[in-house]
Amino acid sequence: MVWGNGAIAATADIRFITPGFTAATAALTSSGSFALPKTGTLRNLTARHTSANGNGAAIVYDVLINGAPSGLQVSLATAAIGSAIDAVNTVAVVAGDIIEITGTKAVSIGSGSIGSVVAVEYI
């Protein structure tokens, strides 16, 4: 499953990443949650920045299940094209659980046009 936004805004805040991909800025409110169709496991959360914009401050990407952090999380610095993966943690889910992805910036990242792409494996 993939989420992505062309921009995430520079200010310190929490943004909701859009399912699929859009060039638009990630929203401040949930804009793309959906119910999982079957019981399974989430693993291998991966985040990638496709642009070297920003000041080096990190964005923390979280998988939310039913509105709560699930334990799948990666932190990725801005100002460079790169990726990060949580290949250790897994999360059990059941049919009907609601999934969302957030990007949290504790401080301003300087430029929000970083091209965030986030994926998680659902088996």
Domain that holds residue 32: 2-122
Asked if the model's pLDDT at residue 118 lies above 80, the reply is yes
Predicted local confidence at residue 111, as pLDDT:
87
Give the CATH number of the domain where residue 104 resides. 2.60.120
Residue 32 is predicted with a pLDDT of: 80
- Which of 73, 6, 9, 2 lies closest to 34 in space, CA to CA? 2
Tens of pLDDT along 73-117? 999 999 999 999 999 999 999 999 999 999 999 999 998 889 999
Identity of the residue numbered 100: E
At 17-35, the pLDDT tens digits run 999 999 999 999 997 889 9
Number of domains within the chain:
1
How much is the pTM? Answer: 0.95
pLDDT for 112 equals 83
